[in-house]
Amino acid sequence: MIRNAWYALGFSSELATGALQGHRIAGRPLVAWRTEPGEVVALDARCAHKRFPLWEGRLLDGDRLECAYHGFCYDRTGRCIAIPALSDRSQRVPETARQTAFPVKEQDGVVWLWAGGDRAPDHDPPPTPEIAAEGWETRVTEPMEVAASYRLLIENLFDLTHFYPLHNGNIGSLADAQVPVEIQRDLSGPVPVLRTIRRRREFTLPPMTRDRFGLEVADQVQVHEMVAPSLFRVRVAVAPPGRLGTGTEQSFVLHQTITPVAADRHVWRRATSCQAGSRWAADPSRSLVDAIVEGAPTVIEQDRWAIERQQEMFAFPDEGYREVHIKTDGAVVMARRILDDMEAAEAATLDASLQSPSQTRMQQNRRAADVR
């Protein structure tokens, strides 16, 4: 798992004012709430007194959090400001009674949390402009906890060869599995981005896509993009042959936030956006975005079923087992490398910061001895 990352705590609509929420993100227990002025606060959920989970507590005046066990009371910065058992005014609240407050940033309809510690990085969370922009209609799903590593979802989203047989009969077809894939890796930004592009020309659309856009044969471009490690964006655009990029193009955008809970569990959220006013071709009385969202649960359950079953197989020791990769696994292999590199870079920083100067000196002496 990677901790030095912005992870979705929720879509903005999930965080109501004055309601405490418990979260587990990248192995950290967190308590979060939206204050009266609208800011979202996220603190370490282990009460500094006796580790009692603060999500069991209550908010006083919407702004201060009281632990349900002995009543330590924290402000929005995580500082303990009152302890009921200290009746004598000469007894002060200890300075160490303080919860770590994690940086939170609300942007484009998503509340992001920096899981790396109490200091925000110098880069913002990834943009998700269509979710909140005027001119787009968006529907978000309830957060879904999946009993599998976040990596298996990323791999699933890059790999369309599973459309047959896993999604056969709904969004899937064998032809989808055989479309050539262009892969782009972009390391120029604050976090690595990996992108696959599938272009189809004069493609006979599968029934679900035909019903969405009202075209039998179309040009289609489909871009899948991991903004490592916590966002996966999909854009699908179709148009009559030769008309992509013109006014007749129709599209939808799917933002999927992927928040690890633990090594073998994550939370998956989806926001589907279509240009405002887009109608479903099969029944123009309905909006396109509603039709797409209504058709999604079967496919989502198939993917969830697949990656949860896949995760169960990791309980068995490898004992010589090795995966076989074929040409179409290129993006999956590249995504793994990117995430491995991020994990290794973080582990190296952590190792360095955990070593006391004397430990480092001892290791250096030992290494010097080895050389001799």
Footprint on this chain of Fe ion (rule: CB under 5 A): 303
Give the nearer residue to ligand FES in terms of CB position, either 72 or 102: 72
CB atoms within 10 A of CB 203: 20
CB of 52 to ligand FES, least distance (A): 3
CB of 159 to Fe ion, least distance (A): 8
Binding mask 155-194 for ligand FES (x = CB under 6 A): ----------------------------------------
Residue 330 interacting partner from Fe ion, ligand FES, none (CB closer than 5 to 8 Å by kind): none
215 near 251, Cβ under 8 Å?
Answer: no
Q: Which residue has the tokens 């109490």?
A: 118
Task: Single out the residue of 84, 44, 86 nearest to residue 60, CA to CA.
Answer: 84
| SS3 state of residue 210 | helix
Give the nearer residue to Fe ion in terms of CB position, either 25 or 148: 148
Binding ligand FES (rule: CB under 6 A), the pick from 41, 47, 218, 338 is 47
Query: How many chain residues interact with ligand FES (CB under 6 A)?
Result: 9
Residue 58 interacting partner from Fe ion, ligand FES, none (CB closer than 5 to 8 Å by kind): none
CB of 132 to ligand FES, least distance (A): 37
The span from the CA of 147 to the CA of 261, in Å, is 9
Q: Could you tell me the strand order of the sheet in which 64-66 lies? A: 58-60, 64-66, 73-74, 80-82
CB of 300 to Fe ion, least distance (A): 8
The DSSP code sequence of 352-370 is HHHS-HHHHHHHHHHHHHH
Question: Per the structure block, which two tokens stand in for 95?
Answer: 């300075």
The span from the CA of 175 to the CA of 181, in Å, is 13
Residue nearest to Fe ion (CB): 303
Q: Which stretch binds ligand FES (CB under 6 A): 47-55, 213-221, 321-329, 363-371?
A: 47-55
Site for ligand FES in 50-79 (CB under 6 A): 50, 52, 67, 69-72
Residue 303 interacting partner from Fe ion, ligand FES, none (CB closer than 5 to 8 Å by kind): Fe ion
Task: Single out the residue of 192, 7, 29, 10 nearest to residue 103, CA to CA.
Answer: 7
Question: Per the structure block, which two tokens stand in for 19?
Answer: 């309601």
Q: Does 218 bind ligand FES (CB under 6 A)?
A: no
Residue 164 interacting partner from ligand FES, Fe ion, none (CB closer than 5 to 8 Å by kind): none
CB of 71 to ligand FES, least distance (A): 6
Give the nearer residue to ligand FES in terms of CB position, either 70 or 123: 70
Residue 52 interacting partner from ligand FES, Fe ion, none (CB closer than 5 to 8 Å by kind): ligand FES
The DSSP code sequence of 154-191 is HHHHH-GGGGTTTTBTTTB-HHHHTS--EEEEE-SSSS
Give the nearer residue to ligand FES in terms of CB position, either 43 or 236: 43
Give the nearer residue to ligand FES in terms of CB position, either 52 or 136: 52
The DSSP code sequence of 81-124 is EE-TT--STTSPPPTT-BPPBPPEEEETTEEEEETT-SS--SSP
Residue 143 interacting partner from ligand FES, Fe ion, none (CB closer than 5 to 8 Å by kind): none
Residue 72 interacting partner from ligand FES, Fe ion, none (CB closer than 5 to 8 Å by kind): ligand FES
The span from the CA of 331 to the CA of 313, in Å, is 22
Q: Does 49 bind ligand FES (CB under 6 A)?
A: yes
The span from the CA of 162 to the CA of 158, in Å, is 10
Q: Which residues of the chain form contacts with ligand FES (CB under 6 A)?
A: 47, 49-50, 52, 67, 69-72
